[in-house]
Structure 1
Amino acid sequence: MDPFKQMSEWKRNMDHFFGEDFWGQFEGILKPTIPQINLYQTDNEILCIASIPGLTDLDKIDIFVNYTQLELRGTIDIGYSGGTVVSEEILQGVFERTVTLPFPVRSDKIKATYSHGLLYIQLHRFISDSSQKHRIKVELLKDK
Structure 2
Amino acid sequence: MDPFQQMSDWKRNLDHFFGEQFWNQFEGILKPTIPQINIYQTDNEILCIASIPGLTDLDKVDIYVDHTTLDLRGTIDIGFSAGTIVKEEILQGVFDRKLPLPFPVRSDKIKATYHNGLLYIQLHRLISDSSKKNRVKVELLEEN
TM over 0.5: yes
1:68/1:103 contact within 8 Å kept:
yes
**1:76 equivalent in structure 2:** 76
Unaligned runs of 5+ in 1: none
List per-residue Cα deviations over 1:72-119 (Å, max 9, x = no partner).
Answer: 000000110011111111110000001100000000000000000000
Q: Percent identity?
A: 66
Partner amino acid, structure 2, of 1:54:
G
Partner amino acid, structure 1, of 2:60:
K
Instruction: Output aligned runs, 1:20-59, within 5 Å.
Output: 21=20, 24-25=23-24, 26-59=26-59
Taking the aligned partners of 2:90 and 2:37, their CA distance within structure 1 comes to 14
1:15/1:22 contact within 8 Å kept:
no
Secondary structure of 1:73's counterpart equals strand
**1:14 equivalent in structure 2:** 10
Taking the aligned partners of 2:12 and 2:98, their CA distance within structure 1 comes to 31
Partner amino acid, structure 2, of 1:45:
E
Q: Which moved more, 1:109-118 or 1:18-27?
A: 18-27
Does residue 119 in structure 1 map to residue 119 in structure 2?
A: yes
CA displacement at 1:17 relative to structure 2 = 3.1
Taking the aligned partners of 1:105 and 1:16, their CA distance within structure 2 comes to 40
The verdict on how the C-alpha distance between 1:23 and 1:82 changes in structure 2, with shifts beyond 3 A counting, is farther
The TM-score normalised by the length of structure 1 is 0.84
Secondary structure of 1:19's counterpart equals helix
Unaligned runs of 5+ in 2: none
Instruction: Output aligned runs, 1:131-142, within 5 Å.
Output: 131-134=131-134, 136=135
CA displacement at 1:27 relative to structure 2 = 2.6
Alignment coverage as a number of residue pairs = 137
Partner amino acid, structure 2, of 1:89:
E
1:104/1:126 contact within 8 Å kept:
yes
**1:102 equivalent in structure 2:** 102
Taking the aligned partners of 1:137 and 1:68, their CA distance within structure 2 comes to 28
